[in-house]
Amino acid sequence: MSYESNPILDRLPKHLRQYIKPQDYEDYSPVDQAVWRYVMRKNTDYLSRVAHPSYLPGLAKTGITVDRIPNMYGMNRILKEIGWAAVAVDGFIPPAAFMEFQAYNVLVIASDIRQLDHIEYTPAPDIIHEGAGHAPIIANPEYAEYLRRFGEIGCKAISSAKDYELYEAVRHLSIIKEAPGTLPEAIRQAEEKIEYLQENMGPPSEMALIRNLHWWTVEYGLIGTLDSPRIYGAGLLSSIGESSWCMTGQVRKIPYSIEAAHTPFDITKPQPQLFVTPDFAYLSQVLEEFANTMGLRKGGLKGLEKLIESRALGTVELSTGLQVSGVFSRAISHEGKPVYLQTSGPTALAYREKELIGHGTASHPDGFGSPVGKLKGINLAIEDMSPRDLKAYNIYEGEKVTLEFVGGITIEGRIVTGTRNLRGEIILITFEDCRVRHGDEVLFEPQWGLYNMAVGQHIRSAFNGPADLGSFDLVSHVPEEKTIKVGKDPARQTLEQLYGQVRDFREGTNTTISRNKVLKVLREEFPRDWLLAVELYELAKGEKDRDFAAEILEHLEQVKQNRPEVGHLIDDGIALARGETVTY
């Protein structure tokens, strides 16, 4: 095991554990720690005025401090008190997996941290976004339950084949944008690919729609009134640029509703509008409203067709509770209702999320097909028949029978046995010497072996993934493209040593270093670096060393002239060091 477990993480299924990686805390450099500290000092200063009241207390409740990147193990010792846990992952993981982690009360944290050059915003998920953005708000019980419920429902949303292609394109862009030395042309091409995919997705899938809801709430949500909203979305809480910009009149504020599901977003650009929920409870109300539109709750022909279009592993649950899991390939319909369903490839049957003995993928390696609905000319559905009714219609062990269903599906064969659910309803009938037809088309031949007919007069649910997680090998879906680590040439190593010396001085672990010498090396060898000089200025102000502070300010003015794009960052750092209110 590559991570320290606890009772919450012990409940995670094997296919989710494949995404977890060790945090490798010692890999964080002193530059990384300085980036964390600057962002957090600036964020807490500003967010104390505009974030939801849960934010600042939530930092303490989740073990997150301003001065140090959080250690996942330390966070977990505190998070367990509110029933949650955290794990480290490598960048973006597939949306369904991300949401399923939430369903288990596990916060997914991309453990890498943005580069200094991207200190205000990065498209890549990082520990500032995940840790300082998501974690504090889950200390609010109402929001934590929304997050868990969102994960529970969201991981059942049916995707399209294009959804995964878009996910991989977004992951690729986030990796190369954060990687040092990436050519502008490569970034442009990656952005153009995302733009092309977004414009050619076709009708949005359930996953696309619920991902929109996630974006406009969990990532970019505002709460309160339209005139005076507060921030709770992690994307805003973790971005020192967007958190201030979003509160201006340039960003349109819209009352939150289910319409947010039909409002797409562009991860490569600032958001032109944001949705405002009156409170956290209303988020759950809209989520339930959306869930009522999903195949998970509506089932039927539309749900089955969504699974076929997804070309991915999914499950259909019949009215008897029998669950068929596999890749669905065909639906035969009659008068707007499904009368036959078909999977291709390994298929498993289950009841109440537990695989039926003898009906795993080894028993159904080449697919599974079955009629759905009532027998022609008989009002009583098979599942509602008593033992006496079944015998009257010759649906009985050893009997050779012909069953004709509404919609033209005919089954001829000898009944071997039946399988019942806990309520005593028959959910599966096994035939030998069986032929299945739809009109003139033969769907099953006697020489293919035993035929298992699912019993159910309608499809009551259709959702992503298998009914029983143990029925399929799901440990094979980790993205191949990995995040790119910053290389450390001799110059980089020297710069990190300087940052480390200043950090050690501030924390009192080594007060013998010469800060004047650090500034001298910084001026001569790293004239474009600004953050270390800001940290030196903070120390000089704290010790009331006016001459040294003035020397640092002179150097920072030179940096601002050479790099005007970081001027506002320098000014804000100086203001924080002086204890002044930063103007945003």
Residues 52-110 have pLDDT tens digits of: 999 999 988 888 899 999 998 888 888 888 899 999 998 888 889 999 999 999 999 98
Reported as a single tens digit per residue, the pLDDT across 463-500 is: 999 999 999 988 765 666 677 666 778 999 999 999 99
H helix runs in 456-528, sequence order: 490-507, 515-525
- Rounded distance, CA 343 to CA 202, Å? 24
- What mean pLDDT comes out for the span 15-36? 92
- Give every CB contact of residue 88 below 8 A, 6+ residues apart in sequence: 3, 20, 21, 22, 23, 72, 109, 110, 111
Reported as a single tens digit per residue, the pLDDT across 359-377 is: 999 999 999 999 999 999 9
Sign of CA dihedral 503, 508, 513, 515: positive
Tokens of 119: 């200190």
Q: Name which of 541, 522, 524 is nearest 533 in CA terms.
A: 522
Task: Specify the pTM.
Answer: 0.88
- Rounded distance, CA 239 to CA 237, Å? 6
| Average pLDDT in the chain | 91
- What mean pLDDT comes out for the span 396-410? 96
Q: Name which of 291, 301, 296, 220 is nearest 258 in CA terms.
A: 291
Question: Would you state the torsion angle of the CA atoms of residues 159, 165, 167, 171, taken in this order, to the nearest 10 degrees?
Answer: 160
- Rounded distance, CA 8 to CA 348, Å? 28
- Token pair 């069953």 is found at 403
Q: Name which of 36, 84, 33, 35 is nearest 58 in CA terms.
A: 84
Beta strand 400-404 with 441-444: parallel, antiparallel or unpaired? unpaired
- Express as a percent the part of the chain with pLDDT over 70: 97
Question: Would you state the torsion angle of the CA atoms of residues 238, 240, 243, 244, taken in this order, to the nearest 10 degrees?
Answer: 170
- Give every CB contact of residue 406 below 8 A, 6+ residues apart in sequence: 334, 339, 373, 374, 375, 376
Q: Is 324 helix (H, G, I), strand (E, B) or coil?
A: strand
pLDDT of residue 176: 85
The DSSP H or E segment spanning 370 is strand 369-371
**For residue 276, what pLDDT band results from cuts at 50, 70 and 90?**
very high
Q: Name which of 236, 316, 326, 314 is nearest 276 in CA terms.
A: 236
**For residue 132, what pLDDT band results from cuts at 50, 70 and 90?**
confident
- Rounded distance, CA 564 to CA 497, Å? 26
pLDDT of residue 235: 87
Beta strand 337-351 with 106-110: parallel, antiparallel or unpaired? unpaired
Q: What is the CA radius of gyration of the chain?
A: 29
User: Do you know the residue count of the chain?
Assistant: 584
- What mean pLDDT comes out for the span 513-536? 95
Whether 339 contacts 372, CB under 8 Å: yes
**For residue 302, what pLDDT band results from cuts at 50, 70 and 90?**
very high
Reported as a single tens digit per residue, the pLDDT across 307-359 is: 999 999 999 999 999 999 999 999 999 999 999 999 999 999 999 999 999 99
- Token pair 């994307």 is found at 235
Residue 124: is its pLDDT beyond 90? no
CA angle 345, 350, 351 (to 5 degrees): 160
pLDDT of residue 469: 94
Q: Which residue has the higher pLDDT, 94 or 35?
A: 35
pLDDT of residue 168: 86
Q: Name which of 79, 127, 131 is nearest 105 in CA terms.
A: 79
Q: Name which of 119, 247, 244 is nearest 583 in CA terms.
A: 244
**For residue 239, what pLDDT band results from cuts at 50, 70 and 90?**
confident
Amino acid code (one letter) for 258: I
pLDDT of residue 477: 58
pLDDT of residue 3: 64
- Rounded distance, CA 483 to CA 48, Å? 33
pLDDT of residue 216: 97
Whether 212 contacts 187, CB under 8 Å: no
- Express as a percent the part of the chain with pLDDT over 90: 68
What separation in angstroms does the CA of 312 have from each of 115, 162, 217, 306, 465?
Answer: 37, 11, 27, 10, 8
- What mean pLDDT comes out for the span 446-455? 97
Q: Is 426 helix (H, G, I), strand (E, B) or coil?
A: strand
Q: Which residue has the higher pLDDT, 290 or 192?
A: 290
Tokens of 418: 């039946």
The DSSP H or E segment spanning 354 is strand 354-355
Q: Is 222 helix (H, G, I), strand (E, B) or coil?
A: strand
Helices (H) and strands (E) in the chain, counts: 23, 17
- Give every CB contact of residue 144 below 8 A, 6+ residues apart in sequence: 82, 83, 84, 105, 138
Buried b (16+ CB within 10 A) or exposed e, 436-455: bebeeeebbebeeeebbbbb
Residue 296: is its pLDDT beyond 60? yes
Residue 2: is its pLDDT beyond 60? no
**For residue 130, what pLDDT band results from cuts at 50, 70 and 90?**
confident
The backbone region for 433, taken as left when phi is positive above 0, alpha when psi lies in -120 to 50, beta otherwise, is left
For 270-320, give the secondary structure using H, E and C: CCCEEEEECCHHHHHHHHHHHHCCCHHHHCHHHHHHHHHHHCCEEEEEECC
pLDDT of residue 479: 65
pLDDT of residue 484: 67
- Rounded distance, CA 124 to CA 171, Å? 8
pLDDT of residue 476: 65
DSSP 469: G
